[in-house]
Structure 1
Amino acid sequence: MQLSGAQIIIECLLEQGVDTIFGYPGGAVLPLYDALYQYRDRMRHILTSHEQGASH
C-alpha cells in the first residue's frame, strides 16, 4: 500500500508519540483532515474556534 503525503505526516506524528492535535480545517489542509479520519482511533483532534486559538 502506498501512503499519501498526509498519511505519512500522521504516521510520523504517531511514531513520535503524538496522540492529540489541535487544528482549524481549511482548503490547504483538507487532505490532512481526510487522512486524519482514517486514524481517528489513534489520533484525537481538537477543533479550535479560530486560528489564533490553535496556537495559544
Structure 2
Amino acid sequence: MHRLDSHALTRHATQLHETPDGHNALVSLLICTTAVQQIVPGTEHITLADLKAVNISTR
C-alpha cells in the first residue's frame, strides 16, 4: 500500500483498540482485510467507514 496516508491507522487507534476487543490477532486480521479490500479498487486508503464495514467474528 504505497499510497496509504502515513497516519491512516494511528488516526483510528481508538477504533482499532476497541474492535474487536483489542485482541492482536483480530486487529491484525481487521487491518489486513481492510487493506486488501482497498488495494483491489486501487484506492489504498483506509477510512473509519472501511474498518467498520469489515465483519470480524470473535467466534
* TM category, shorter: under 0.3
Q: What is the TM-score when the length of structure 1 is the normalising length?
A: 0.27
Q: Which structure dedicates a bigger proportion of its chain to helix?
A: 2
Bigger-Rg structure (1/2): 1
Q: Which structure dedicates a bigger proportion of its chain to strand?
A: 1
Q: What is the TM-score when the length of structure 2 is the normalising length?
A: 0.27
